[in-house]
Amino acid sequence: MANSATTDALPRSSPPGDGESLAELAARHGLTVSGARPGLGAYVKQLWQRRHFIVAFANAKTRASYSDARLGQVWQILTPLLNAAIYYLIFGLMLKTNRGVPNFIAFLVTGIFVFGFTQSAVLAGTRSISGQLNLIRALHFPRASLPISFTIVQLQQLLISMIVLCGIVLAKGEPLTLKWLLVVPVLMLQFVFNIGLSMIVARFGAVVTDINQLMPFILRTWLYTSGVFYSIDNFTKDAPAWVRHALDLNPIAVYIELVRDSLIESHSGVPTWTWGVAAAWALVIGVGGFIYFWRAEERYGRG
């Protein structure tokens, strides 16, 4: 340990002369503040330059997630299959309920998978900053790469789930039509929505760590109000108008309805304005979430 006697005799580098402050010295030499938040345009550009990293990181995460299971990547298909099997067992064989919905199994599984996409994106997004502090404190990259990357992981899982879903829908006797192609734009809109949402919860989760504990409850409430297990139309026949509108405008319900509309013939006839709502949610949450996340860019390392 050093004591104060030796300290006085130790060398100290003289401050730059002439009473010039350090800030002035820095300005005179054109130095910039380290770790300052870039402008929005510059940030988007940086993010674009990192696109290969974002995709590589997502692929790596997907690969790594099943690596300790003996069946490995097969679980990516098995997981949605088992999910669908459980719901078939409970609702199709045991309860024999259809709650007034034709082809209830296809209806239900579509809802589960589409909801699951947003659900897992939000859960992963919540931890995308707080769980990656080591990475953030070691390397430079636009932090938005992380929530985007984690959402891409969920997109990859969803695409496999969709293949399983298409199989189930076909097996339940739905015809294969050109309308199925509409699933692609719906999921793209939902993807943008999910990215925005996961950026919002990522910023929350970076500061308020308690949100990790709270999130499952919020998501479960959302699940029960999104018409996954029941048809919102049947359910709200006698409800006040504002309840009906609120449930109809729920973004996940909108995405679920549109996918059902495309895949299940008996469930077609969703009003055209639903597409407007779906696009509006993607735009508002996508852009808004991105800007909200960017505004705290320089603070994420602090944890």
Partner 1 sequence: MADTAVADGAATTEKVAESAPTVVVDDVHLVYRVHGAGAGKGSATSALSRIVARKKATGITEVHAVKGVSFVAYRGEAIGLIGRNGSGKSTLLRCVAGLLPPTRGKIYTDGQPSLLGVNAAMMNELTGERNIILGCLAMGMSQEEAQTRYTEIAEFSGLEKMSPGILSRPMRTYSSGQGARLRFSIAAAKTHDVLMIDEALATGDREFQLRSEARIRELRAQAGSVFLVSHSMKSIRDTCDRVIWLHDGTILADGPTDEVVAAYEKGR
Give me the residues that bind partner 1 (CB under 8 A), please.
1-3, 6-7, 9-18, 21-23, 25-27, 29-36, 49-50, 52-53, 56-57, 60-61, 63-64, 67-68, 134-141, 209, 298-299, 301-303
CA dihedral for 117, 120, 124, 126, sign (positive or negative): positive
If the CB atoms of residues 140 and 237 are measured against partner 1, the closer one turns out to be: 140
Name the minimum Å distance from CB 130 to partner 1: 11
CA distance 125 to 146: 8
Name the minimum Å distance from CB 140 to partner 1: 6
CA distances from 176 to 88, 104, 216 (A): 21, 18, 36
At a CB cut-off of 8 Å and minimum separation 6, what does 225 contact?
Answer: 247, 250, 253
Name the minimum Å distance from CB 5 to partner 1: 10
If the CB atoms of residues 16 and 102 are measured against partner 1, the closer one turns out to be: 16
If the CB atoms of residues 64 and 93 are measured against partner 1, the closer one turns out to be: 64
If the CB atoms of residues 142 and 289 are measured against partner 1, the closer one turns out to be: 142
CA distance 272 to 179: 14
Name the minimum Å distance from CB 226 to partner 1: 32
CA dihedral 183, 152, 62, 111 (to 10 degrees): -40
If the CB atoms of residues 185 and 301 are measured against partner 1, the closer one turns out to be: 301
If the CB atoms of residues 9 and 178 are measured against partner 1, the closer one turns out to be: 9
Name the minimum Å distance from CB 83 to partner 1: 24
Burial class (CB in 10 A: 0-12, 13-18, 19+), 201: buried
Name the minimum Å distance from CB 17 to partner 1: 5
Burial class (CB in 10 A: 0-12, 13-18, 19+), 244: middle
Q: How many CA atoms lie within 13 A of 189 on its CB side?
A: 22
CA distance 120 to 127: 11
